Amino acid sequence: MSAMDSEIYDVAIVGGGAAGLSAALILARARRRVVVVRGSAPRNAPAAHMHGFLSRDGMPPAELLALGAAEVSGYGGELLDDVVVGASTETPEDYRLRLGGGRVLRSRRVLVATGLRDELPRLPGLRERWGRDVVHCPYCHGYEVRDQPIGLLGATEPGAQARAMHLALLLPQWSEDLIFFPHGMPLSGNDRAQLDARGVRVLDGEVARLVVDGDRLRGVEMADGRAVPRTAMFVVSGLRANNDVLAALGCAFDDDGWVVTDPSGRTSVPGVWAAGNVRDRMAQVITAASAGAAAGGAINGDLVMAATMLTS
């Protein structure tokens, strides 16, 4: 391969979000030769503030990662502003990662921490408000819209419909002024009874668009012309793991397309780990960081065991 590094890293980490950087910190402090290919923006980049991370609550997402990156490089970890576009396993001790810039990295272990993509409902005005007043997670954003007139949009995919119902039952905890817009999502008699028990109003019919004025969400316009004032809308996004690198390395996936791992993040391919949202769709920033740290420790232990076998 052209432009291939002759030196071999102990660990190459794909993705410089909370999971990847947290693993890098553990590994760099364990005196491993570690490189992080950072990629681009993390999943929560559209949000101005990150919530629910003890001691960092309210911090801008980019600030957390900048602090983390400085800590990693302070211990000698390398950070590359590039993206992995190809990957292969030469031997269980020699992985190759091809970067968009042309360089090929070699490493003895790989951690994939590439996160996931949110597929948003197609509705005029929605994408532009994502992470601002169109949100998905009550633990991330609920407190900020407490007691406000909020809405929840129904989902089309069956898996997402269960999550939409779950969200509908949770949200009255943050605001009693909640309207559920099924927008074509079927609701059983039992669903409606549960919503009623939680005081959730249901407005049947098709939503035509979100109404935005002065850079703020003002409400929802129904297809029949009704205008419903709302200051925030919750939606259920489709969750798609960024699996390309794991797939290129030959990792096994379950029937829903999520990588199969043990609790430490070890995949079906020896020497390849996964951490954060790429393997756990429910991970928050703090739990993604925790999973990265756990994977970092497990990878270090695996390298120690390999060295022990070689020398015994």
Among 114, 161, 243, 300, binds ligand FAD (CB under 6 A): 114
For residue 161, what are the contacts with CB-CB under 8 A and spacing of at least 6? 154, 155, 185, 186, 236
Q: Is 296 in the site for ligand FAD (CB under 6 A)?
A: no
* Angle at which helices 61-74 and 18-29 cross, to 10°: 20
Cα angle 8, 112, 301 (rounded to 5 degrees) comes to: 65
* One character per residue 122-141, x = contact with ligand FAD (rule: CB under 6 A): ---------x-----x--x-
For the bound state, the minimum distance from the C-beta of residue 292 to ligand FAD, rounded and expressed in Å, comes to 7
For the bound state, the minimum distance from the C-beta of residue 40 to ligand FAD, rounded and expressed in Å, comes to 4
Task: Kindly identify the residues of this chain, within the stretch 227-286, that bind ligand FAD according to CB under 6 A.
Answer: 242, 245, 276-277, 283-286
> Which range in 16-24, 147-155, 220-228, 300-308 contacts ligand FAD by CB under 6 A?
16-24
Phi, psi of 62 (to 5 degrees): -65, -30
Nearest in space to 30 (alpha carbons), one of 308, 299, 306, 310: 299
Among 77, 115, 154, 296, binds ligand FAD (CB under 6 A): 115
Among 8, 29, 52, 144, binds ligand FAD (CB under 6 A): 52
Cβ density class 117-148: b for 16+ within 10 Å, e for less:
ebebbebebbeebbbbbbbbbbebbbebbeee
Contact (Cβ atoms closer than 8 angstroms) between residue 113 and residue 51: no
Task: Kindly identify the residues of this chain, within the stretch 134-173, that bind ligand FAD according to CB under 6 A.
Answer: 137, 140
Q: Is 288 in the site for ligand FAD (CB under 6 A)?
A: yes
Contact (Cβ atoms closer than 8 angstroms) between residue 206 and residue 183: yes
Q: Is 46 in the site for ligand FAD (CB under 6 A)?
A: yes
Residues lying near ligand FAD in the complex (CB under 6 A): 14-20, 37, 39-44, 46-47, 50-53, 83-84, 113-115, 118, 131, 137, 140, 242, 245, 276-277, 283-286, 288
